[in-house]
Amino acid sequence: MNQQDIRSAAATLWQHWQQSTRLDELPAHCRPRTRADAYAIQAELAGLSGQSVVGWKIAATSPAGEQHIRVAGPIAGCLLSARAREAGARISLAGNNMKVAEAEFAFSMGRPLPKRAKIYSIAEVLEAVASLHPAIEVPDSRYNDFTRVGAEQLIADVACACWFVLGPAARVDWRVRNLAVHGVIAYRNGAPAGKGSGANVLGDPRTALAWIANELSAYGEGLRAGDVVITGTCLTPVPVAAGDSVKVDFADFGALEVGFG
pLDDT tens sequence for the chain (261 residues): 999 999 999 999 999 999 999 999 999 999 999 999 999 999 999 999 999 999 999 999 888 888 787 887 999 999 999 999 999 999 999 999 999 999 999 999 999 999 999 999 999 999 999 999 999 999 999 999 999 999 999 999 999 999 999 999 999 999 999 999 999 999 999 999 999 999 999 999 999 999 999 999 999 999 999 999 999 999 999 999 999 999 999 999 999 999 999
Cα distance between residue 233 and residue 230, in whole Å: 9
The residues spanned by each domain of the chain are 52-260
Q: Which fold has domain 52-260?
A: Fumarylacetoacetate hydrolase; domain 2 (3.90.850)
Q: Is the dihedral of CA 205, 211, 214, 219 positive or negative?
A: negative
Distance, in Å, from the CA atom of 18 to the CA atom of 47, rounded to the nearest integer, reads: 14
